[in-house]
Copies of this chain bind each other. A is one copy, B any other.
Amino acid sequence: MNQISDETIKRLPNYLRYLEKLQKDGETYASSADIALYFKLNPVAVRKDLAAVSSCAGVPKKGFLIESLIDDIILYMGLNNNNQVVLVGAGKLGQALLGYKSFKKFGLEIIAAFDNNPLIVGKKIMGKPIFAMNKLEKVIEKMEIKIAIVCVPKESAQEVVDVLIKAGVKGIWNFAPTQLKVSDEIVIKQEDMAASLAILSQKINQKN
């Protein structure tokens, strides 16, 4: 179950949402053909994806037991997760992420946030403690945190990321609209809100 392709990993959350919806609608079984049809994918690819994360055997003419598939996907996505995550930059977006309940489903928890705004340092937001930025390195080292969410302005993103990596962080989810320089062993997931919206807009134009 180890080296699953990026493409498969990206499809898993979609399958999960669809299966949860079917379950809520009262369904018990789902076939890979149903799932493939819904997402306009090749049924063989869907079957391979599911086989990679689940040992469920389908029942002929019925498909997979939805309940077991859901459990297996959640288990896979949460498996071996480094449960504890920190967030740097507790502005509006950062606070929205602090309050996001679904992280828990995949075994992830934001344990603390860091900011340099004296109005919020020392307080709790969405139940999470806000520390001053100068505590960043120490907390990460002490708690052995491997994942950080970066929601600071783009001007300070690189500096923050350098501190994070020096303290032992291996993966960064970056919301600052700037290209980070990191070494090859660090995993970066770059979010670019403006580009996402522009891509959506392009797709609408292509369709119409």
Contact = CB atoms under 8 A, between A and B. Distances in A.
Nearest to A203: B187
A203 B171 contact: yes
A204 B77 contact: no
Nearest to A12: B195
Given A99-B92, A103-B194, A178-B17, A200 B206 contact: no
Contacts of A203: 6, 9, 171, 187, 189
Interface residues of A, number: 66
Interface stretch (A63-71, A78-86, A113-121): A78-86
A198 to B, nearest CB: 4
A2 B206 contact: yes
Contacts of A193: 97, 100, 102-103
Tally of this chain's copies: 2
Nearest to A126: B92
A200 B177 contact: no
Given A92-B99, A103-B194, A179-B18, A204 B9 contact: no
Contacts of A92: 92-93, 95-96, 99
A77 B195 contact: yes
Contacts of A166: none
Contact of A197 (B9, B96, B108): B108
B201 A82 contact: yes
A156 interface: no
A182 interface: no
A202 B102 contact: no
A205 interface: yes
B197 A17 contact: no
5 contacts: A92-B96, A102-B192, A102-B193, A103-B194, A191-B196
A138 interface: no
A2 B18 CA distance: 32
Given A17-B179, A91-B96, A173-B196, 16 more contacts: A9-B202, A13-B192, A81-B198, A92-B95, A92-B96, A100-B193, A102-B193, A103-B194, A106-B195, A107-B198, A147-B197, A149-B197, A170-B208, A171-B203, A173-B197, A187-B200
